[in-house]
Amino acid sequence: MHTKTLTELAQGLRSGKFSSLELTHAFLARIKQHQYLNAYITVTEEQALQSAKAADQRLASGNAELLTGIPIAQKDIFCTLDVKTTCGSKMLDNFTAPYNATVVEKFNQAGAVMLGKLNMDEFAMGSSNETSYYGAVKNPWNINTVPGGSSGGSAAAVAARLTVCATGTDTGGSIRQPAALCGITGLKPTYGRVSRYGMIAYASSLDQGGPMTQNAADAAIMLQTMAGFDEKDSTSVDLPVPDYRAGLNNSLAGLKIGLPKEFFGDGLNNDMAATLEIAINEYKKLGAEVKEISMPNLKLAIPAYYVIAPAECSANLSRFDGVRYGYRCKNPVDLADLYTRSRGEAFGKEVKRRILMGTYALSTGYYDAYYLKAQKIRRLISEDFKKALADVDVIMGPVTPTTAFGIGEKMDDPIEMYLSDIYTIAINLAGLPAISIPAGFIRDMPVGLQIIGNYFAEDRLLNVAHQYQKVTNWHHHTPKGFE
C-alpha cells in the first residue's frame, strides 16, 4: 500500500479495498523499520490509530472527504494540540502546544490521520537538515547525503514512503530544495494563500506553508485543504480558493515558458543544465513555446535575503527568553543571566549566527545601510518577475546548483551552504508561487525542475507540472530499499 499515491489510496479507501486502520498500521511499521533516516521527531502512534478508526467510521457513513483516512505527517514547525512541537530546537524540546495551527486543524477536519511530527533544521534555519537538535536527516537515495532543508524530514519521509504526503514550509526554498534533492514534488504557494497561524515564525514576510507529495495531482488535493483565508492570520489573503484539480488536464499548447539567462549561467553544474534541457524539451513536445528572458536583479537575491530574513528572525525569536515557555537555564543569578544562558544554551550555532546578523542589520546606524537597502532590492526583484510574467506564462529553471551533497560537507562553510538556495530565494522575496518536480537523475541522485508562476496561479503551476508527469516517470521512482 505504501507505494500508492494519495489519489490511489483515497480511491482504495472509498472502494473498501483496505481500511484507514490497515493503512495506518502499515505506515507506522515502515516508520519503525526505517528509523535510521531520522525523519520523524515524534511519532503519534496512539493518536494516529484512534484517528484511523474514526476515519473508517466516517468512510462507512459516506461522509468522507478526499483526505479522510489518509496518513499524513506534519513538519514540526506547526503547533499541534497536546503533541510536542519543537521546531527542531532544544529551546522547544519540552514545549507541548496548547492549540492546533490552522493548517493542522484543516487536515483534522478533513479526517486525515497524523502519523507524527517531522524533523527539520532548527527554527527552519538551514539548507541541509543538519542544524536540528535531534540530528541530521538522511537522504533515502543515499544515506550519506543530506535531504535538503529546512523541510528535510518531510522530503525524506515522502521519498522513503514513510508517509503518503507531508506539510513543509518555505522561507527561502525550504519546500522546493529538499523536494528536488529527494525526488518528490514540493509546492510553495503564493505568500498569504496558506494560513501562517500556529506556524512558528522564522521570517514573517517570507514564510509560507505548502504540500510535499509524490506528484502534482496529490499536491492539488493537499493544497485544496490547506489554502484559504484565515481571520486569525493578518497576512492571510481573502481570495476564493479555486478547484485545483479541475484544470490538471488542460492542454499546454501555446504555453509560454521563460528561461532566465541568470539561472543558466556559470554557477550551474553542467550535468544539471543538460538534465534540465531534456526536461524543458518535453514541454516543447507538449506544445509549449520557450524563450530566453533576463532578470538582472536576481544576482542580488542572496545578499538581500540574508539581511531581511535574519532581521525578522532576530525579532521573532526574541520571545524565546526562558521566561514564558521553552528551555530555561538552571539556577539563574538574575534576569540578565536567565536571558543570556537560556538562549545561549538552547539555540544552536546557525540560529545564533542569524540572530546576530539580524540584530546588527537592525541596529542604530546600520538600518538604512543594510535593512532598508535590502528591502529596496526586494522591490527590484519583484519588478523583474512582474515584467517577466507579463510576457510569459511561467518561468522555469533549476532548483539547486547540484544534486544532494554529503552530510557534513558544507557545515563549516555557511556561505557555501547559503548558496544552495541561490535559485529559490528570489521567489520568496517576491512572494510568488513555485513548484519543484522530479526531472531526472545525475549519477543516481534526483534532479528537480523549478516552475514559477504568477501570484495566486497555483492551479496553472499544478497543471503544468501534472502534464509533464503524465509523459515522464521520474516521480514514480523510489529509492532502493524503500520500494
Q: At what angle do helices 6-15 and 20-33 cross, to 10 degrees?
A: 140
The whole-angstrom separation of Cα 291 and Cα 296 is: 16
Which is catalytic among the residues 150, 154, 314, 342? Answer: 150
Cα 481 versus chain centre, distance: 24
The answer to whether 410 is a known catalytic residue is: no
Q: Which three cell numbers stand for residue 322?
A: 526562558
Which is catalytic among the residues 20, 127, 154, 174? Answer: 174
| 289-293 vs 394-398, strand pairing mode | unpaired
Q: What is the DSSP string of 104-161?
A: HHHHHHHT-EEEEEE--SGGG--SSS-S-TT-PPPBTTBTTB---SSSHHHHHHHHTT
Return the closest-CA partner of residue 256 out of 470, 452, 400.
Answer: 452
Q: Is the dihedral of CA 88, 90, 93, 96 positive or negative?
A: negative
The answer to whether 150 is a known catalytic residue is: yes
For 103, other C-beta atoms within 10 Å of its C-beta total: 28
Q: What is the DSSP string of 371-385?
A: IIHHHHHHHHHHHHH
Q: Which residues are catalytic?
A: 75, 150, 174
